[in-house]
Amino acid sequence: MTDFSSPLKSLKAGHWFKLICGASYQHLPAVRNLVLAYTLAGADCIDVAADPAVIGVARDAIATAIHLAPKIDFAPKIPQPLLMVSLNAGEDPHFRKAALDPEACPTDCAQPCVSICPADAIAFPSPHGVILDRCYGCGRCLPVCPIDQISAVSHTAKPEVVGPLIASGIVQAIEIHTQVGQELEFQQLWQTLSPFVPKLRVLAVSCPDGDGLLDYLASLYEVMTPLPCPLIWQTDGRPMSGDIGDGATRATVKLAAKVLQASLPGYVQLAGGTNRHTIAKLKAKGLLHPDLMSASINLKSPHPHIVGVAYGSFARQLLSRVQTELETFSNPQLEDHPHCLQTAVSLASSLVSQLKPFIPSQPLTPIEHGRDSPPDSSRR
């Protein structure tokens, strides 16, 4: 039986690290490589779209990482991460894709939609327009179109697809995205999920700020209780924006402080705008577990603290250079290109080690594991 005790210990110890692949992100080669690299770097949880194909590659990448870890001259004792799937209770920006009509584009358009897209999800002339599996719905392309022709198409993740995967143990955690005012939708989704809830190892509820937020979260708790597993309140400060600059993290730190003050039952974890500056800002505000705080900061003990951080856009951007290089190979699997694997795990561990100081963040040495081929420089 798989041992998931380590991620649960991370929650208690305040160094829980979650990779967000994206509730709408379905680019399978990139998802696989992200999951592989961050699992090898010590992530506690991998959060993916409610798509059986995405869940399948994430599961395969976790298994590959667990198999490879002992052979890598890096040797953290990596945990078996929890596989989490994101669902939405009502309309939510994480569950949408951009849409445009390439035939409507003026021939002299400078194509600002292409350059602003962080996921290389818009291309001309071929493939033509939005590449749906790459689009994760960040919305940045919408306002830059001079003829206002890009729209966002919302979708609802299917809990009935995920339920059997929870029942069989393939998916161990669920995240429900919600917003203030969506009680009815939340109750309906909870009812659909209820046969599977006893099998969950962790349940997360992700919510942005809004008027009446704390009362709303308290009402959701009433709907969900009693729970068989730990509950995480994910403070979604500034959704899908961690890669746009240092300041993007302010909103989620502020929101986490607000939710902590409410002393709701459950853990508090950040997301939405998280990046390399998040931990420093949390430290400055005294919001980390005492073991992660500098000894020079005088804290009342025990003090309310967050248990961890989830990284999405920033985590993906950090590895985007490696992914771009991998896409020049006929076989883009990360583990088959040792120099890329070394770089990717080193970059991922530079982020993970901010929360887990016991994991070294130094560069790794390349590995030999039977399917290696030297870097194919002729194709770069």
Is 141 among the residues that bind ligand SF4 (CB under 6 A)? yes
Least separation in angstroms between CB 323 and ligand SF4: 14
Task: Select 125 or 302, whichever has its Cβ closest to ligand SF4.
Answer: 125
Residue among 46, 49, 50, 113 that touches ligand SF4 (CB under 6 A): 113
CA distance 267 to 264: 8
Binding track over 147-186 against ligand SF4, x by CB under 6 A: x-xx------------------------------------
Could you write out the DSSP letters of every residue in 175-202? EEE--TT-HHHHHHHHHHHTTTGGG-SE
Least separation in angstroms between CB 327 and ligand SF4: 17
Residue among 48, 87, 122, 334 that touches ligand SF4 (CB under 6 A): 122
Stretch that binds ligand SF4, among 80-88, 109-117, 167-175, 340-348 (CB under 6 A): 109-117
- For the chain, the first-to-last Cα distance in angstroms comes to 43
Least separation in angstroms between CB 299 and ligand SF4: 40
Considering only CA atoms, which of 2, 4, 68 is closest in space to residue 33?
68
Least separation in angstroms between CB 141 and ligand SF4: 3
Least separation in angstroms between CB 273 and ligand SF4: 15
CA Rg value for the chain:
20
Stretch that binds ligand SF4, among 36-44, 97-105, 249-257, 259-267 (CB under 6 A): 97-105
Q: Give start and end residues of each alpha helix (H) in the chain.
A: 5-13, 28-40, 52-68, 112-116, 159-167, 183-193, 213-224, 250-261, 278-284, 313-318, 320-326, 338-355
In the block, which residue shows the tokens 């992700």?
Answer: 206
Is 27 among the residues that bind ligand SF4 (CB under 6 A)? no
Task: Select 45 or 138, whichever has its Cβ closest to ligand SF4.
Answer: 138
Stretch that binds ligand SF4, among 119-127, 206-214, 269-277, 338-346 (CB under 6 A): 119-127
Is 100 among the residues that bind ligand SF4 (CB under 6 A)? yes
Least separation in angstroms between CB 135 and ligand SF4: 3
Residue among 32, 140, 277, 337 that touches ligand SF4 (CB under 6 A): 140
Least separation in angstroms between CB 139 and ligand SF4: 5
44 contacts 10 by C-beta, under 8 angstroms: yes
Least separation in angstroms between CB 177 and ligand SF4: 16
76 contacts 359 by C-beta, under 8 angstroms: yes
Q: Is 319 exposed, middle or buried (0-12, 13-18, 19+ CB in 10 A)?
A: buried
Which contacts of 65-70 are long-range, i.e. CB under 8 A and separated by 24 or more positions?
A: 65/35, 65/36, 65/39, 65/40, 66/39, 68/40, 68/335, 68/367, 68/369, 69/40
**Cα–Cα separations (whole angstroms), residue 220 to 109, 174, 271:** 47, 15, 19
Q: Is 134 exposed, middle or buried (0-12, 13-18, 19+ CB in 10 A)?
A: buried
Least separation in angstroms between CB 208 and ligand SF4: 17
Stretch that binds ligand SF4, among 144-152, 304-312, 322-330, 347-355 (CB under 6 A): 144-152
Task: Select 128 or 199, whichever has its Cβ closest to ligand SF4.
Answer: 128
Question: What residues line the site for ligand SF4 (CB under 6 A)?
Answer: 98, 100, 105-106, 109, 111-113, 116-117, 119, 121-122, 130, 135-141, 145, 147, 149-150
